[in-house]
Amino acid sequence: MNNNNNDAYQRLKGLIFFRVLFISLLLGSTIVLQIGSTHSLFDKSLLMLYGLIFGVAILSICYAILFNRVKRIEIFSSIQIGIDTLIISCIIFVTGCFSSIFSFLYLVVIIYSTMLLYKKGSMIIAALCAIQYGIIVELEYFGFINPFPFEDGITASSYPWNQVQYKIIIITLACISVAFLSNYLAEQARKTKSELLAMKERIKRFEKMAAMGEMAARMAHEIKNPIASISGSIQLLTEDMYENPQKDRLMRIIHKEADRLGSLVNNYLLFARPPIGKIEKIELGKSIIETIELFEKDSKNSGKIIILKDIAPNVWTEMYPVHLHQILWNLLLNASEAIETSGNIKVKLYSIKNKSAVIEVADDGCGITDNNIKSIYDPFFTTKPKGTGLGLSIVLNILKPYESWLEVESKINVGSVFMFKLKQIDSLN
């Protein structure tokens, strides 16, 4: 069960409990009020109210029995809330209809419908409440139904028609207004919760990366010096192998693998401890284009990809230039590796209200599956045969001091878009 469904089940469980609590309070308050009045506890209107309370209790028991057996939580919630609107209409009818004090219960139903049915569902419930109230009041006014006055209330027909319509309009506007306001607040709450969960996940990831980075740094330092010695020794031995082609070929393979291992160790060190340099004011567009030009000259990318540029001018930030180069290089390398034969990479720079500079690197490669997208930032996670799994982890580590985060959107066989934001400054500063 995913988090959204789990939250919905918890809210629905709370609704069932709230419904039982409400009918208990309604029954108790009704009895207490009638004890101190001249009316009998067994008046016709009270018997109808007791019947409604009993019916709601039976429904709540049925809901509780079905709760763990239901697979479509949205439909189950919709049925319950729809029935709740009918129950409230019956309560209003039994307690005086036009003069009933319980019309506010429609607003309660609308509020909790926003938590289970979201915007569209809650607006439908609001309309349903307004329509039901309008129908029963109009039927009372024209004499088609005779309500049971809970107290010596006055029926709708005792009032002028325009006053009756005024109250219907007020209730309708109240339902719609509460639906809009509740949806806004619920959406803000969901957004805040989502941001908190994302922040919590980022903190966990950074803690994990810090621990792994420290371990990788220690291992890399221990391995780096022996690799350098091996590589130097191989170069000296290679000079004496010209007369033996087979041994010469083997030495070249060993030298190549030693270089690859050295490169891997350097990546570990870069992941563990990104270089610290002087923060400078830089024009992002110029720096991005320079990095792209260097990347295009790499023989591995020659003829394979075309890099498209959409660079906004005069966008400035403050950061160590080498950091920007390393971030872009890793993202470009990641994008090119996602393209199996040939394709396009698009690099985009734009500004958001002169406060944030946004850099996007998009490719039309193979895309990332939903299962893998959760792990792409984990150190050493890779789906590529020769990948180290450190590229995106390095990017995250570099972005951390700049209070930035790498975001991704991806579709299988369509491509991926990686995006990060930097604080924008005025070019005149």
What is d(CA 169, CA 175) in angstroms, rounded to the nearest whole number? Answer: 10
AA identity, residue 146: N
Question: Same structural domain for residues 30 and 108?
Answer: yes
Number of domains in the chain: 3
231 Cβ contact list (under 8 Å, min separation 6): 255, 258, 259, 262
Would you call 107 helix, strand, or coil by DSSP?
helix
Cβ atoms of 117 and 74 within 8 Å: the answer is yes
Question: Same structural domain for residues 71 and 197?
Answer: yes
Residue that finishes a domain, picked among 223, 255, 272: 272
Give the position of tokens 């690099």.
347
Angle in degrees, 0-180, between the axes of helices 73-94 and 105-141, rounded to the nearest 10: 50
Lowest mean pLDDT among 10-14, 226-230, 301-305, 392-396: 226-230
Q: What domain range is 225 assigned to?
A: 210-272
Strand partners, 142: none
Cβ atoms of 372 and 429 within 8 Å: the answer is no
324 Cβ contact list (under 8 Å, min separation 6): 282, 284, 287, 288, 291
Q: Please, where are the H alpha helices in 36-142?
A: 44-66, 73-94, 105-141
Would you call 360 helix, strand, or coil by DSSP?
strand
Question: Same structural domain for residues 216 and 346?
Answer: no
CATH of the domain at 383: 3.30.565.10
Dump strand ranges (E) for 183-279.
none
Element counts in the chain: helices (H) and strands (E) = 10, 7
Question: Same structural domain for residues 27 and 172?
Answer: yes
Q: Is the pLDDT of residue 238 over 70?
A: no
- Tell me: the pLDDT tens digits for 311-340? 999 999 999 898 899 899 989 988 988 888
Residue that finishes a domain, picked among 201, 219, 246: 201
Phi, psi of 352 (to 5 degrees): -110, 105
Question: Same structural domain for residues 292 and 215?
Answer: no
Question: Same structural domain for residues 76 and 151?
Answer: yes
Question: Same structural domain for residues 259 and 356?
Answer: no
- Name the nearest CA neighbour of 61 among 18, 16, 25, 24: 16
Question: Same structural domain for residues 52 and 181?
Answer: yes
**pTM of the full structure:** 0.57
Tell me, rounded to whole angstroms, the distance of Cα 226 from its chain centroid: 47
Question: Same structural domain for residues 252 and 304?
Answer: no
Question: Same structural domain for residues 65 and 138?
Answer: yes
What is the pLDDT, as a whole number, of residue 1?
47
Question: Same structural domain for residues 294 and 393?
Answer: yes
What is the pLDDT, as a whole number, of residue 211?
62
Question: Same structural domain for residues 38 and 80?
Answer: yes
Residue that finishes a domain, picked among 201, 227, 256: 201
Mean of the pLDDT values across residues 55-77? 86
- Tell me: the pLDDT tens digits for 45-58? 677 777 888 888 88
